Structure 1
């Protein structure tokens, strides 16, 4: 007869995500995971696989909880640019918040730490980024169709630029004690929408 799990795999995965988010992939050992999750190494391997597989599952979990407001905010009827501006400003404000300074964004952290040499992590980073850039592009296409953007503006290029700024403020917000730095960068990027 098979033994039943003596722990909640869903709660364990969430706990692993939090540890990886706080410490990073390389700085988190299997011993750290065993201690933090409070379950045995064999149970971790049997349920999640090795540390890398667990990390990828944590990335997937993080992706499941991505910001549901983003699409709702950008797809409201009426003028589009106020929603785009609000989104970029929200990213900047969240990036400068004390909690963000400690942990940053899990996907952005992974992009810097693992994506250059880990194809599986890089794929997940790309998917996550597409979930931001694609609705942003669609919103800017609508803005141009509604006459909110000047004719010489390229919605795809603007979406990419705003996306890169949004990711950049996450990195700088994590490392900087000066919230004006990310706020000013966001406002300068938004000026390109005029």
Structure 2
């Protein structure tokens, strides 16, 4: 009986200390990508473009798609090609999936995935990568909000390499715009 009573006292003591401890805002314990979901429109088509990290308007590139070895790769081009330059953010368990609105002859593979060499390519939803999208501090030289897009599996931000969207070695950082 003494052991049961002692256990009960210990449990109550632990609970009272735990409940009277410092109060923490929910935002302080949530992962970065959870709070950033409110910064982007979910399930709404958006034009995807990017600029260099100086937010130089002359560095603007638009989303396009390139076929190579039977796969479609999202690429960034100077010339805008309507219909193929739009994406949709879909809520995922840990962040968002990125889906192209329309694909060239590739209707069942619409979601961003990343190859083992760091190239983003279009794949089925069950293979899609999850991303965090974080709004960056506004700047005076660009009249658009810019974002950092980070792969949640690796913690690496999306950029470009030879106009392909990539992560990892050789990737040139970009700020992303979703209008």
Higher strand share: 2
TM-score normalised by structure 1 residue count: 0.26
Higher helix share: 1
Higher relative contact order (CA 8 A, sep 6+): 1
TM-score normalised by structure 2 residue count: 0.27
Larger Rg: 2
